[in-house]
Structure 1
Amino acid sequence: MKPFSFTYWRRVLATEGLPILISLLLSAVLWYNVGGEQTVDTSVMIPVEVLNLPRELVISNQFKRQLEVTVHGPRSVILGIDQRQISRRVDLANATPGTTVIANDPDSITVPRGVTVLRVQPSTIILSLDKLISKQFAINPVTIGSPAPGYRLENLRMEPNVIIITGPESVLSKHDVLRTREIDLSGINQTTQLQVPLDLDPAIVDLIGETTITADIAVSLEMEQYEYTLPLTHDAGLEVPVKRVKVFADVPKLLLDEGVKLTDILTARLAVDEVNGIGIVRIVQAENLSHPVEILKVEPAVIELPKKPAPAPAPPPAVQTPDEPAKP
């Protein structure tokens, strides 16, 4: 075959030229898409990813969770960085308690081929590493105001009354107790429950969030102790040796403020126990009392009753003798 004939060149192009032609076309396309594409400088936000933090340590300070990274490269590649899950990885496997400063060099950010990191802001990450501890805190209630007139605070119980918090030793060591926000007792005249938020330091809020507990508020009547002498009434039909008894009682202040006389609303009655020959003193309160009286003691509480006289024996029946005529 002649080397310069038409048939020769057609065969060469068919066997060797086609692959070369395809390579040239692919190179042109690649150059257009990469080399010929417009390059840009722009800033992207890259998250900070902390790895291998030891269990006994905790990061106790606030630090920037995202970095501003200025990059240079093809527009299409840079626009797709957000989908590539690129992050600034910080390995703390060998960390110890204290302050750790980590430099954000351009080489610390892994970016796609063709993209160059120009600058990272901030240039460092400062981490305060602290021991992780658990500490128990008692809850101290803070109150303002007073219950309604005539009432007093009997008991104030927090539920829960202690809270266990796990966090940095440097933060938890600053506190010995946790306090509530102000609990207003003004005008309370009955036992009740309230939901009360804790008054927490911002550093504690970061650990456990805004926290609310239950306050069980128990109120009772204000009492004043008095001694009264009451006449003793009974239906025993006996001459009882005790005519009056002493009564010791806690009297609600509200009742006294109403001008009620206790001698008019309390009655001392004697309940007779005939089997044992005693009388038991009972104090009966009027049914219309707005607030009951608390009886503490009665003197005497038990009275020995006199024994009833035995009835005179009946005379024996008359006995007739045989010699005596019968009386008509």
Structure 2
Amino acid sequence: MKLEKAQRHTLKIIAIFFAVSLWFYVLNSEPVEVEKKISIEFLVPKGFAVSSNTERQLQLKLKGSKAFIGNVFSNKEKLVIDLVPYYKKFGKNFKVQYLPSQISVPFGVDILEMHPKEATIEIDRLVQMELPVKIQYIGNMPYDRKFKEVSIDPQNIMISGPIDVIRKMSHLETNPVNLSSIEKDEGTITVPIDEIDPRLSFEENPRVKLKYKVQLTIPKRESVKKE
């Protein structure tokens, strides 16, 4: 029994020794430098939105052990900036500084550089508006075919954003629909909305259904029976 207990203690000591050795090897291994991007999320006062065309990504230069640095920001971490205290102190226009201390990185990883280091923020009243949807077309149908009927659903989509940005919007466009790819005489195509200004947002990611019927523009010739 004493021999077995001594063997177990010996194995534990050996395991601890190897673990500590591996830890020191990782810490003292040649550090590497990598560049990473993380998104910036602004928490705005209720009823407001960011109206300035502010960069929404932060470029970071990191240095650290290869064992630790490989998985940094692999879970799509964000830098969250609360704008409420700034608004209470400065009003609708102010500057925000980005600091390394605001970003959580693993032990053994250092932030060497970050860009941008600050941002000029403007906030404005948040409004909603329903805008009509416009289908974008590219390409051409064959010369003897054209649309007979076209309908879209929904015809209008609700959008949110700062009032100054919303005022400049007249409609929303879909991703392009290639007319040369339409081969059926009738059908339904689901088309996403084209990329919009990052200061604007939808309640949910909208998709538009385009329902169509195609007709021939040149009538078919009837075969003549020979007598």
Query: Match of 2:15?
Result: 22
Q: Which of 31, 43, 49 is the aligned partner of 2:35?
A: 43
Report the alpha carbon displacement of residue 21 of structure 1 after superposing the two structures with TM: 3.0
Is the Cα–Cα contact under 8 Å of residues 127 and 163 in structure 2 kept in the other structure? yes
Report the alpha carbon displacement of residue 102 of structure 1 after superposing the two structures with TM: 1.3
In structure 2, how many angstroms separate the alpha carbons of the residues matched to 1:109 and 1:27? Answer: 28
In structure 2, how many angstroms separate the alpha carbons of the residues matched to 1:136 and 1:11? Answer: 78
Report the alpha carbon displacement of residue 25 of structure 1 after superposing the two structures with TM: 2.1
Query: Match of 2:67?
Result: 76
Q: Does 1:113 align with 2:107?
A: yes
SS at match of 1:111: coil
In structure 1, how many angstroms separate the alpha carbons of the residues matched to 2:59 and 2:112? Answer: 11
Query: Match of 1:143?
Result: none
Query: Match of 1:123?
Result: 117
Which residues of 2 match residues 99-248 of structure 1 at below 5 A? 99-133=93-127, 167-171=161-165
Counterpart residue type for residue 114 of structure 1: G
- What are structure 1's unaligned runs of at least 5 residues? 1-9, 138-162, 180-202, 210-328
Report the alpha carbon displacement of residue 111 of structure 1 after superposing the two structures with TM: 0.9
CA RMSD of aligned residues (A): 4.0
Is the Cα–Cα contact under 8 Å of residues 107 and 117 in structure 1 kept in the other structure? no
- What are structure 2's unaligned runs of at least 5 residues? 132-156, 172-195, 203-227
In structure 1, how many angstroms separate the alpha carbons of the residues matched to 2:32 and 2:199? Answer: 40
Report the alpha carbon displacement of residue 133 of structure 1 after superposing the two structures with TM: 4.0
Q: Give me the TM-score of the superposition, normalised by structure 2.
A: 0.51
Query: Match of 2:24?
Result: 31
- Structure number with the bigger relative contact order (C-alpha 8 A, sep ≥ 6) is 2
Which residues of 2 match residues 1-20 of structure 1 at below 5 A? 14=7, 17-20=10-13
Is the Cα–Cα contact under 8 Å of residues 43 and 68 in structure 1 kept in the other structure? yes
1:134-171 CA deviation, whole Å, 9 max, x = no partner?
A: 6899xxxxxxxxxxxxxxxxxxxxxxxxx998643445
Query: Match of 2:79?
Result: 88
In structure 1, how many angstroms separate the alpha carbons of the residues matched to 2:201 and 2:127? Answer: 14
Report the alpha carbon displacement of residue 43 of structure 1 after superposing the two structures with TM: 1.6
SS at match of 2:64: strand
Q: Give me the TM-score of the superposition, normalised by structure 1.
A: 0.37
Equivalent residue pairs, number: 148
- Percent of aligned pairs with the same residue? 22
SS at match of 1:85: coil
In structure 2, how many angstroms separate the alpha carbons of the residues matched to 1:205 and 1:19? Answer: 56
Query: Match of 1:65?
Result: 56
